[in-house]
């Protein structure tokens, strides 16, 4: 039977319509704002993305937390009661401990629902890379692939999901302690755009620094030319995530659609949610596609 539940976390950073259309069930992270209230990272429903990023520009320093074990039990159990097996894909363990909470909950529930499968997989990515994975798995399920076939695909291919990001404003890197105040000041004055990528263990790794946003946009497309399967003959899908800078993401997408004529479909562009955005701030663009192993050609 192929009617299994496919689940993920809100850090896959796609729209509610995306998840509903693909019948993907989502568990929410949490975001604590300066007003002392904790809000669900519910795909921009409680706090619209533009409002969230404006709060950051106005000085807010949101913090984030992952779903706990009990939340995962409450999330998984109704599906098991429906008689469904579950394939849950988690946010990378390189940036959060959500995978461990999901595994603990799954272990507890397996004892109660011994006739059901509850599989948990570390995506080793986030944001648009995570969204690309969920898009692929939902398509496989729709094609009639079993939960075991989908599990095998993700475990064999997750390191081939390439995700690179650049940021145009270092203010939030300084506030979060990831960049010194002096380096942040100089970087902003010189229009420095740092690049980071997810390595083969799912850690976010600093890479190059490029002067000016215009050059960073071009550089991001060049990275895809270098790392995508078959170079500019790449015929898969491509996802972009942006934090309140859609025009920048659109420019990257235009370059890709111009230079990759065999793309399966137009580039998907979606917002970076409040959890990832709390750490990057506005002005970040991420690009995900299928390609070479991350430990190669970086």
- 146 has pLDDT over 90: yes
CATH 3.40.50.2000 fits 5-158, yes or no: no
**Residue with the larger pLDDT of the pair 1 and 11:** 11
pLDDT of residue 298: 47
Q: What is the percent of the chain with per-residue pLDDT over 70, rounded to a whole number?
A: 90
Helices of type H across 22-68: 49-57
Q: Which of 29-33, 103-107, 148-152, 263-267 has the lowest mean pLDDT?
A: 29-33
- 133 has pLDDT over 70: yes
> What's the rounded Cα separation, in Å, for the pair 106 and 70?
11
- 171 has pLDDT over 80: no
DSSP lists the bridge partners of residue 63 as 32
pLDDT of residue 180: 47
Sign of CA dihedral 63, 175, 197, 211: positive
Per DSSP, the three-state class of 121 is strand
Mean pLDDT of 165-177: 70
pLDDT of residue 190: 46
What are the boundaries of each domain within the chain? Answer: 5-158, 160-290
> What's the rounded Cα separation, in Å, for the pair 293 and 298?
9
The 10s digit of each residue's pLDDT in 185-219 is 344 444 778 888 999 999 888 888 898 999 999 99
Mean pLDDT of 6-22: 96
The 10s digit of each residue's pLDDT in 107-117 is 999 989 998 99
pLDDT of residue 295: 58
Q: Which of 34-38, 163-167, 220-224 has the lowest mean pLDDT?
A: 34-38
> What's the rounded Cα separation, in Å, for the pair 53 and 58?
9
- 5-158 and 160-290 have identical folds: no
The whole-model pTM stands at: 0.92
pLDDT of residue 173: 61
> What's the rounded Cα separation, in Å, for the pair 12 and 232?
26
Q: Which of 36-40, 274-278, 287-291 has the lowest mean pLDDT?
A: 36-40
- 183 has pLDDT over 80: no
Enter the CATH code of domain 160-290.
3.30.1180.10
- 22 has pLDDT over 50: yes
Mean pLDDT of 233-240: 97
- 176 has pLDDT over 70: no
- 1 has pLDDT over 60: no
Average pLDDT, whole number, for the chain? 90
- 150 has pLDDT over 80: yes
Side by side, the strands of the sheet bearing 63-65 are: 38-40, 30-32, 63-65
Sign of CA dihedral 77, 79, 80, 81: positive
Q: Which of 7-16, 17-26, 184-193 has the lowest mean pLDDT?
A: 184-193
Neighbours of 141 (CB within 10 A): 22
- 53 has pLDDT over 90: yes
- 182 has pLDDT over 50: no
- Could you tell me which of 2, 1, 293, 291 has the C-alpha nearest to residue 142? 2
């Amino acid at each position: 039977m192929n009617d299994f539940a496919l689940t993920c976390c809100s850090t896959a950073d796609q729209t509610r319509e995306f998840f509903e259309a693909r019948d993907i069930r989502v568990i929410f992270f949490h975001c604590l704002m300066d007003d002392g209230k904790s809000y669900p990272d519910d795909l921009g429903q409680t706090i619209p993305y533009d409002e969230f990023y404006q709060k950051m520009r106005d000085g807010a320093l949101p913090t984030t937390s992952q779903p706990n074990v009990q939340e995962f039990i409450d999330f998984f159990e109704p599906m098991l009661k429906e008689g469904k097996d579950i394939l849950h894909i988690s946010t990378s363990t390189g940036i959060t401990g959500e995978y461990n909470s999901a595994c603990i909950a799954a272990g507890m529930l397996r004892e109660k629902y011994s006739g059901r499968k509850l599989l948990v997989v570390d995506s080793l990515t986030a944001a648009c890379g995570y969204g690309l994975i969920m898009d692929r798995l939902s398509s496989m399920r729709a094609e009639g692939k079993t939960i075991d076939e989908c599990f095998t695909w993700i475990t064999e291919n997750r390191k081939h999901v390439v995700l690179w990001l650049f940021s145009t404003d270092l203010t939030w890197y300084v506030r979060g302690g990831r960049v010194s105040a002096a380096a942040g000041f100089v970087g902003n004055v010189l229009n420095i755009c740092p690049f980071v990528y997810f390595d083969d263990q799912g850690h976010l790794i600093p890479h190059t620094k490029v002067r000016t946003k215009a050059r960073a946009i071009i550089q991001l497309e060049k990275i895809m030319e270098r790392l995508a399967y078959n170079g500019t003959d790449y015929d898969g899908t491509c996802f972009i995530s942006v934090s309140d800078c859609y025009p920048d993401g659109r420019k990257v997408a235009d370059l890709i659609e111009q230079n990759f004529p065999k793309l399966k479909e137009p580039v998907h562009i979606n917002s970076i949610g409040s959890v990832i955005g709390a750490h990057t701030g506005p002005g970040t663009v991420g690009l995900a596609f299928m390609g070479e192993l991350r430990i190669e050609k970086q």
